[in-house]
Structure 1
Amino acid sequence: EGGCNKPCDIRLKCGHQCELMCHNYDFEHKEILCRKKCNDTLSCGHFCTKRCHVTTPTQHDPCRVMIDKTIKTCGHKIRFQCAREPTNADCQYPIQKCLPCGDFVDVPCCIASSLSELQRFPCPKPCNAVLTCKHKCVGTCGKCQNGRLHISCEYKCERPLICSHVCKAPCTANCPPCLSFCETRCVHSKCNKRCGELCVPCKEVRVIDRVENYLCSL
């Protein structure tokens, strides 16, 4: 900083000690800004968490300390910022309600108190209907529109293909060509293509009875 290697021990106008090392400029500390926390006590009793702001000593930020509060409209407890007043729109307390589908489920208080919101609330209960593919639906009552329109089946197909391998595509898709490795081989080599692809014919010569030569048939 241009001075010695000791910390500056000058008290700033905010009351905090200068955080700089000994410096050979601004001896009156008119331009040096304090970067420590304010720590003034707010009217609520909590400390100000703003950076030291001696130039505007009364401009404290609203207190953001989380405290227990009671929502006046519904009477439920909530953890909320000290400086703010919670309303029913902030209440997440679960209340059991009957939805249009007939299921009784826990609904947040902020939704339960509004008939229009309650009618739009998606039922979270499992659908469990048996689909045409014989798999059980993994959607919820709300996602499947109360059983009127189910989500796509998420199970694997698992039907045997013509090659005897099992299809690993999604149940709702048409079975694609088999992606397993081909198991065809001859005495010379094995095919390195996928099962659903055409094999490259073997071009090696096969000796029969040490007299006649034939192309390998695989």
Structure 2
Amino acid sequence: MYLQYNCTKPCENINKKCSLNHKCEKMCYEDCSLCTVKVERILACGHIKKDVPCGLSIDEIKCILPCERPLKCDHKCQSQCYEKCKPCENQVRVIFYIPNVTICLFCFVYFILYLGRKNYTRLWSFNCNEM
């Protein structure tokens, strides 16, 4: 008959998936886990995320800050950073030479319908709520 003996010393191994050599805080006989020490990470988008478990890979972290990448219309993307940019949802008031009207459109609709057409020459555009 054998007695089962568990080592009562602290583990001396490095946590699993730890790139900063944080030591395991379990006992020697316990399995090491993913590193849970909170660290700062620089994400692929360039934003800094604080309080991330060290064992979590950058690919698993979604940046929820505003994207702010420039769209074709020069407005900034309003999606979250990890999402693909959506068409511009800003509303713009557009004044045309022909016909002499002022209309309010979503920016992306303006780009689809009017840019590049010779009979609709843009005089200027600005946010609808600025008038």
Q: TM-score range by the shorter chain?
A: 0.5 to 0.7
CA distance in 1: counterparts of 2:78 and 2:102, whole angstroms: 24
Task: Specify which structure has the bigger relative contact order, considering alpha-carbon pairs within 8 angstroms and separated by 6 or more residues.
Answer: 2
Q: Which amino acid aligns with 2:47?
A: H
Q: Which runs of 5+ in 1 are unaligned?
A: 1-96, 202-214
CA distance in 1: counterparts of 2:102 and 2:55, whole angstroms: 49
Check whether the contact 2:45–2:81 (CA below 8 A) recurs between aligned residues. yes
Percent sequence identity over aligned pairs: 20
| Structure 2 counterpart of 1:196 | 108
Residue 157 of structure 1, CA deviation? 1.4
The alpha-carbon distance between structure 1 residues 169 and 148, as it changes in their structure 2 partners (threshold 3 A), is closer
| Structure 2 counterpart of 1:115 | 30
The alpha-carbon distance between structure 1 residues 140 and 217, as it changes in their structure 2 partners (threshold 3 A), is closer
Residue 103 (structure 1) aligned to one of 11, 22, 25: 22
Q: How many residues align?
A: 99
1:26-41 to 2 correspondences below 5 Å: none
Q: Which amino acid aligns with 2:78?
A: K
Residue 38 (structure 2) aligned to one of 91, 108, 125: 125
RMSD: 3.7
Residue 183 (structure 1) aligned to one of 93, 103, 107: 93
Q: Which amino acid aligns with 2:46?
A: K
The alpha-carbon distance between structure 1 residues 184 and 142, as it changes in their structure 2 partners (threshold 3 A), is same
Larger Rg: 1
Check whether the contact 1:99–1:123 (CA below 8 A) recurs between aligned residues. no
